[in-house]
Structures are given as structure tokens and as C-alpha cells.
Structure 1
Amino acid sequence: MSAPETVLQGKDRTNAHDLYMSLELSDKRWNLTFGDGIRGPSRCTVAAGDCTAVLERIGKARVRFGIPAEAAVHACYEAGRDGWWLHRWLVEQGIHNIVVDSASIEVNRHARRAKTDRLDGDKLLAMLQRYRAGEVRVWSVLREPTPRQEDARRLHRELQRLSHEHTAHTNRIGSLLVLHNLRVHCIGGRNWQAWWDSHCAQVPPALRGEIERECVRLMLVKQQMRTLEATQRKEVEDRVQPQVSQLAKLRSIGVASAWLLVKELFGWRRFANRRELAGCLGLAPTPYASGNSQIEQGINKAGNKRARTLLVELAWSWLRYQPDSALSQWFMRRFGAGAKRMRRIGIVALARRLAVALWRYLEHGEIPAGATLKGVA
């Protein structure tokens, strides 16, 4: 869908006959706050997920504020665990809804500030009215993915969670073994079962049972990871994912990394320029200039954390496998002779440049200068 900022830019959309509604969502109940931009807000509470009750409260709010049935309803809520289903349902009901980034909502800067669901609902309502009046920079509005795009993120995110579980089980087994001075580096590997059979007698029965149960959970995680990885490889081999295949042709980028970048970033977002791309990744600079103070606070880290973390890892890999590329040579000229701290700062700058180069490669087919493809000398 088109960005709401584009629609509202430079236009005053305030309408005294429209109804405004903010939703403060929680696990057990939703707090609804209504207003018309003139009178004070009206508040009510419904059970979480009760869509019928939401429509009833909207009808009652129309009566209370004297708003005709044909008038528009504008709504908003903060992005959270409910995701996008509520947004799509509201749009289906003819309600103009937006989902906002909670981190972009302005707050009182006092050390101690009052915070309740009622105050949060009132704040959201006031900011919604300002936004609809044309003040588009009052907060950040999130772009809605299609149901298919949203579902496409599930595979690699599950793989990441399983990878963390794999590490947790491995570390747990290793820690339990150390209690009896047993140290091994093949936990869950090919030689693990043979090693365990020859050393399990040194472990007390209760601890032995705990370790074996951990091993069962570890094997289950490994099996599920292999299944998901096989699914990824098959879709790439069958050319179901052309962008993933294109990215994976570059040296230093594997199938899993290409998959994550496409599903989280390049596959469904459209960027007008490199600044928009850097802002989406949270790799944009954050200057602080007040009076005589001129401080650079580093990157803002306000974007997609998964893609940002991966791009920093790929930047290190790029230096190793693409040493003759223009990006690697720029890094070596600028930061190669510096200390470790300067290289860590420089790798973030390289990650930002690499993201722009990969974006141009996917959009226009421009291979990054000096880079080589797999299988090409």
C-alpha cells in the first residue's frame, strides 16, 4: 500500500464531522479512546479480540458525539504482538487505520512520568488528530506487508529461534558435564554418542537422565533445522525465489543470508534512494548539535534489527571473500591501518555501503564494483 505520508503531505485533513479512535492493546483487554477533535475524549474497555464489541462502541461513540453514520472513522494503534490482522479487519470495516512505531511516540522527558493505559490512549488520540491534520512527522507510520509477504518471514525467523535453542541445549549439556570434570567439544556431533557411551558411567543417575533428556531435545532441534534448511535450498534450486538466487550468486553471501535479506528487506520494500534504505536499516547517523555542542552519536539503530545485524556480519565476510572489490579497498584505505575500535566503527560504515550496493544489484543488476560471482575466477 502507498505510504500514508504521501497522501497527507501538505494537506489539512481535519474534519469536525469525523470520528477518531485510538486502541491501547493488551493481552486481556483493549482500551478504546474516542474523540471528534472538539469535545473531550470518551473512553471504554472491551475484551481483547472482541471485534463485535469494538463495532458497538464505535456506534455508541457516533451517537455521543453527534457524528453521522456516513462520516469517516480514523483509528490507530501501536505495533505489537497483535500484528497486522487487526489493521486488515479495521480496513475491511471501512475504518481508516494506521499502525505506528511505538518507539517514535513522543513522551515526557521528566525522570518520573505518569504512565497508565488511560494516559497512553489519550496521547495516541491527540497525536492521531495532529497526524490527520497534516502533521505527518508527529510519529512513524509502518508500511503494511501483504499476508503473503508477512507469512514469508516465518521460515527464517523460526530457523533463528531454533539456532538459539541449539546453542542453549549445547551449552547446558556442556555445563552439566563440567560438574564432573568431563569436557568435550563434539556435543551433538558425529562422535558424541560414542563418547557419551564411554563416559556416562562417571555421571550420577539423576544427572545422567537430565543430560540424556537434553540430548533428545537437541536432536529434535537439529532435525527441525535440517528440514527448514532443505526447504530453503529446494525453493532456491527450483527458482521459486529469484531474488534469493540472484543475491546468493555473489561470493560471501550464502543462501540463508540472501533469504533473510530478501524476506525482511528487499523483497517487499521499495526505496527511492540510499538514505531511505539506511533509515529502514537503522544505519543512519544520529547527530547532536545544540549551541556549541557538535556530537555524533553513531547510528540510530531504529530499523530492522535482523537485517542490520546480518549486514554487519556480511561486511566482515565481504572483506574476506571480496578483497579486490571497491568496497573492500575503500575500507582498507580508510580503516585498515586503524586500531580495533576504528575497524569496528568502519565495519558499520561498510555495512551501510554494502546494503546500498546490494539494493542496486537487485534493482538494476549492477554488480558491485570489483566484486566476483561464485564460480567465476
Structure 2
Amino acid sequence: MRTNVVEDMVERAPVDTGVTVKLGMDVHSDQITVCRQVGGRVPQPAQVLAPAKLLEQVRELRAGGVTVLSCYEAGPCGYLLHRQLTALGVTNYVIAPQRLDERHRRVKTDKRDARELCNRLDRYSRGNTDAFSVVRVPTVEEERRRALTRQRGTVLKEQHRCVVRGHGLMLSQGVRAPTGWWHANVWPRFSARLPEWLRPHIARWQAQAISYEAMLAELTPQVEALMAGQTAPKGVGALTTAILESEVLDWHRFHNRREVGSYTGLCPSEHSSNRARRQGSVTKCGNRRLRHQLVEAVWRLLEWQPTYPPLQRIQAATGKRARKRAAVAVARRLAVDLWRLNTGQCSAQRLGLTLLRH
């Protein structure tokens, strides 16, 4: 039996009812390049469609009893398309961005990318989980919480940029600025020492830094409020815990400690062959915001919970570099312990952590 409402993007023959159609999509804001594969056939030439036209064709496919699988890379367009496709009954995968030109031909087009995504989707649907890495799509509420914490991080980064640029400009003229030169209580006295021509240039960076400080004063309590009434390890704090929770989304998504370590990007790199094994610096192939917060939390735990067992590695290290390397290893262990704690596998007492309620 054939459907009479489902036609190909270039007016090919209708699709059989019950057949699986796979769509590899290269997504942009105003157009989507789609490569379609019907059943186990060779993928068809990619076509450029408007988002509304794509959704219309998918709706017709679903109405005709066709199973639809699709995928696209995570990017600036977010998860709106994923939610629209899911609402139509499509099994869609948002995947981590990766190099699609495996042969390094140095030819990259939207149609080539869409075809490669379609090929990888076919392999993934057949059981090859190495074809691509699926991104955990947040709920609308989780995305709202994460947007708040990430906005605060962006504001903090912009403030630091203004401070560093102003400091660099003064240093180029032989002026050594004191720590916190841009603060409102320091700037009036310090600016009088600057050359007349240099003062307005530095004042612009100082004004921007002050404006970002006001934004941080507004955003920080909002982020901390996300952890109201919840517990967290002493020394980690409500702010850091809220950022960790918003980046992880759901601790139950991980099945073992190796997945936790891999997501943080704190696992050592490795180059092994024959009987030789060599491990290097961490891969950093993970969530960089999560990685930063974990390392910062380790140094605070060293002050607030020095009896936490993994910290013995830092305490026993000699030399600045050795302590930093030990802190990275402890950060990986901390992530695993937080996973165990939040999934109920271990108690805080067994892990050697003291909890506080915010």
C-alpha cells in the first residue's frame, strides 16, 4: 500500500506506508538543507527548504504512516526545531558538533554535511553508537535556568575583559594600576595620576566595568535562589552548585563514573601503541563551564573541608605545577562523588563530605 499524500522533495515516487525515512539536516535560521534516505536505499540528493516547508512535509509523512528519524548538530538555533519535530512524532537526535569531512578534502558545503549526517544517522539507527554523540536536550524549564547562569557567566567574562584592556592600555604607558583600580571608591583618586590624554580612554573601560558590576549584583542573587532550600557540600556554595546543576541538568543521565569523567573533560589524554602507554594532559572534550566550576570548587574545599579524602593528593604534592595537576584529578573525583551523592548511591558521610542547606 502506498500513500498518496507523501511525495519527495523533488517530486519522486510516494513512500511506502510503514517505511522508515531518515533525515540528515544542516540547520540555519532561515533555511534547512535536508538529505533524505528512504528505508535502506541510497540517500537522495539534498534539498534546501524553509523550516515551515520541512515541518509540513514531515507532517505529511507522519500522516501517511511513515516512521521518521532525523538529526542535526547542536548550534545557535537551539532546540526549537527538535521540539517541533518531536511534537509531530519524529525521533530526532540533536548531536554534538564534529568534523564531518573525515577525509580532509577541504570541501565543506551544507549539502555535503546533510548527506554525511544522514549516513551517520543510518549507522546509528543500526546500532553503531559511535556514529555520533547525542546531546541531552533540556526541558523548557531547564533551559531557562541554564540561560540565567550562563548570562551571569557572560557578564563576568565581559567585566574581566574591560578590566584587562584598561590595565593593558595603562601598562603600555608605564602606569602600574593597583588591584581593583576600576572600583568606584578607587577610581577618583587613581584617575588623577593618569596623563590627561589617557584618562578618557581608561574612563570608558572603567565605566563599562562598573555597569557590568551592577548587572552581576542583580544576577548573582537570582542564580543563588535556584538552590534555595537544597543541600550542597560545605565550601562549594549556592552559586557554584546552581551552575553545576544547570550544566549537568540531570545526574541520572550518567550510567557510570567513566561517563561523568568524560562529560567534564577532565580525563587524561592517551597515546598507546603495542606495549607502550603514554597519558598526557586532560582532553578538555567536555563541558568547559562545568570543568571550570569543579576546579574552582576543589580549591575552596581545601580550605573548608580539608578532611575530604581526595584532597590528600593536593596536600601531599610539592611544587606549584604538581598541586595544579593534583587539583585537576581531585576535580574529576569530585564530579564522580557529586554524581554518587545526587543519585543516592552513596551518603555524604561515606564520601567524607559535609553538607549545608542553603
Given that residues 162 and 225 in structure 1 are in contact (C-alpha distance below 8 angstroms), is that contact kept between their aligned partners in structure 2? Answer: yes
> Is 1:164 the equivalent of 2:157?
yes
**Residue from 19, 38, 42 that aligns with 1:17:** 19
Taking the TM superposition and a 5 Å limit, the aligned residue runs for 1:277-292 are 277-292=260-275
For residues 251 and 140 of structure 2, the distance between their equivalents in structure 1, rounded to whole angstroms, comes to 11
For residues 279 and 134 of structure 1, the distance between their equivalents in structure 2, rounded to whole angstroms, comes to 21
Shift of 1:41: 1.2
- Read off the aligned partner of 2:212 and give its amino acid letter: V
**Residue from 176, 186, 190 that aligns with 1:183:** 176
Instruction: After superposition, give the CA deviation of every residue in 1:6-34 in whole Å (9 maximum; x if it has no partner).
Output: xxxxxxxxx98221111112355321111
Given that residues 59 and 88 in structure 2 are in contact (C-alpha distance below 8 angstroms), is that contact kept between their aligned partners in structure 1? Answer: no
**Residue from 309, 327, 339 that aligns with 1:359:** 339
- Read off the aligned partner of 2:157 and give its amino acid letter: H
> Identity over the aligned pairs, expressed in percent?
28
For residues 113 and 27 of structure 1, the distance between their equivalents in structure 2, rounded to whole angstroms, comes to 24
For residues 129 and 331 of structure 1, the distance between their equivalents in structure 2, rounded to whole angstroms, comes to 47
> Is 1:38 the equivalent of 2:53?
no
> Is 1:92 the equivalent of 2:87?
yes
Given that residues 295 and 331 in structure 2 are in contact (C-alpha distance below 8 angstroms), is that contact kept between their aligned partners in structure 1? Answer: yes
| Counterpart residue number, 2:121 | 128
- For the residue of structure 2 that corresponds to 1:353, the secondary structure is helix
**Structure 1 residues 134 and 273, CA, compared in 2 at 3 Å: closer, same or farther?**
closer
| Counterpart residue number, 1:299 | 282
Instruction: After superposition, give the CA deviation of every residue in 1:46-104 in whole Å (9 maximum; x if it has no partner).
Output: 2xxx43211355589x6xxxx9921111111011111111100111122221111123x
**Structure 1 residues 134 and 68, CA, compared in 2 at 3 Å: closer, same or farther?**
farther
For residues 39 and 235 of structure 1, the distance between their equivalents in structure 2, rounded to whole angstroms, comes to 49
For structure 1, the residue ranges without an aligned partner over 5 or more in a row are 1-14
| Counterpart residue number, 2:240 | 257
For residues 19 and 208 of structure 1, the distance between their equivalents in structure 2, rounded to whole angstroms, comes to 65
Given that residues 348 and 354 in structure 2 are in contact (C-alpha distance below 8 angstroms), is that contact kept between their aligned partners in structure 1? Answer: no
- For the residue of structure 2 that corresponds to 1:31, the secondary structure is strand
Given that residues 35 and 43 in structure 2 are in contact (C-alpha distance below 8 angstroms), is that contact kept between their aligned partners in structure 1? Answer: no
| Counterpart residue number, 1:11 | none
- For the residue of structure 2 that corresponds to 1:261, the secondary structure is helix
Q: What TM-score, normalized by structure 2, do the two folds share? A: 0.82
- For the residue of structure 1 that corresponds to 2:349, the secondary structure is coil
Superposition RMSD on alpha carbons, in Å?
3.0
Q: How many residues align structurally? A: 337
| Counterpart residue number, 2:6 | none
| Counterpart residue number, 2:214 | 223
Given that residues 31 and 51 in structure 2 are in contact (C-alpha distance below 8 angstroms), is that contact kept between their aligned partners in structure 1? Answer: no
For residues 39 and 59 of structure 1, the distance between their equivalents in structure 2, rounded to whole angstroms, comes to 23
For structure 2, the residue ranges without an aligned partner over 5 or more in a row are 1-16
> Is 1:137 the equivalent of 2:130?
yes
Instruction: After superposition, give the CA deviation of every residue in 1:161-188 in whole Å (9 maximum; x if it has no partner).
Output: 1111111212233334445544332323
- For the residue of structure 2 that corresponds to 1:75, the secondary structure is strand
Given that residues 16 and 38 in structure 1 are in contact (C-alpha distance below 8 angstroms), is that contact kept between their aligned partners in structure 2? Answer: no
For residues 56 and 103 of structure 2, the distance between their equivalents in structure 1, rounded to whole angstroms, comes to 37
For residues 171 and 303 of structure 1, the distance between their equivalents in structure 2, rounded to whole angstroms, comes to 27
Q: What TM-score, normalized by structure 1, do the two folds share? A: 0.78
Given that residues 18 and 66 in structure 2 are in contact (C-alpha distance below 8 angstroms), is that contact kept between their aligned partners in structure 1? Answer: no
Shift of 1:353: 1.2
Q: Which runs of 4+ in 1 moved over 6 A?
A: none
Instruction: After superposition, give the CA deviation of every residue in 1:264-292 in whole Å (9 maximum; x if it has no partner).
Output: 12656533322221122223344433334
- For the residue of structure 1 that corresponds to 2:47, the secondary structure is strand
| Counterpart residue number, 1:6 | none
For residues 326 and 206 of structure 2, the distance between their equivalents in structure 1, rounded to whole angstroms, comes to 41
For residues 221 and 340 of structure 2, the distance between their equivalents in structure 1, rounded to whole angstroms, comes to 29
**Structure 1 residues 52 and 26, CA, compared in 2 at 3 Å: closer, same or farther?**
closer
**Structure 1 residues 330 and 193, CA, compared in 2 at 3 Å: closer, same or farther?**
closer
For residues 283 and 196 of structure 1, the distance between their equivalents in structure 2, rounded to whole angstroms, comes to 42
For residues 96 and 165 of structure 2, the distance between their equivalents in structure 1, rounded to whole angstroms, comes to 37
For residues 17 and 267 of structure 1, the distance between their equivalents in structure 2, rounded to whole angstroms, comes to 34
**Structure 1 residues 277 and 316, CA, compared in 2 at 3 Å: closer, same or farther?**
same
